[in-house]
């Protein structure tokens, strides 16, 4: 079987604007895709996030998805502080929060909404002595 890349797609009413929102979160740049309704962000592991407007003949369910993007930052000794700062920056570019941030044994997390109402998670694991860094990232 040939080597394949894993890519993610997000259906969007405004793919250019939504891809720009996620590029800002990830300190990345947006690339023009196949046409004027397709944009993507290349990730460091050869994967891509694609943003596209669905065909008008495609039945599109906007709510209730069972999958979500997760943006994970570097492990920290104070993950709640990092989540608070990161949340503030995302709010400034058009995101919104869902509920309150959670501090747990693994670290800190906050569920958020992008400007089109799609949920995503931001996560900062605890930095602990003896932890397997590859497992944390």
Domains of the chain (ranges; CATH) run 1-55 (3.30.720.120), 68-137 (3.10.180.10)
Question: With 60 as the cut, is the pLDDT of residue 135 above it?
Answer: no
Query: What is the rounded CA–CA span in Å between residue 108 and residue 82?
Result: 9
Closest CA to 112 of 92, 136, 135, 133: 92
Question: With 90 as the cut, is the pLDDT of residue 94 above it?
Answer: yes
Which pTM value belongs to this model? 0.73
Q: Which residues contact 38 (CB under 8 A, 6 or more apart)?
A: 15, 32, 50, 51, 52, 53
pLDDT digits (tens, 9 = 90+) for 31-68: 998 788 889 998 776 677 777 776 665 555 555 555 67
């Amino acid at each position: 079987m040939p080597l394949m890349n894993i890519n993610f797609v997000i259906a969007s009413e405004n793919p250019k604007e939504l891809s720009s929102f996620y590029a800002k979160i990830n300190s990345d740049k947006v690339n023009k895709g196949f046409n004027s309704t397709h944009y993507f962000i290349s990730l460091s592991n050869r994967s891509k996030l694609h943003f596209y407007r669905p065909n008008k003949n495609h039945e599109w369910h906007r709510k209730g998805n069972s999958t979500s993007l997760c943006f994970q930052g570097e492990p920290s000794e104070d993950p709640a502080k990092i989540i608070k700062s990161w949340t503030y920056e995302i709010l400034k570019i058009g995101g919104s929060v869902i509920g309150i941030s959670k501090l747990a044994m693994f670290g800190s997390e906050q569920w958020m909404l992008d400007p089109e109402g799609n949920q995503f998670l931001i996560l900062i694991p605890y930095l602990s002595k003896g932890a397997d860094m590859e497992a944390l990232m």
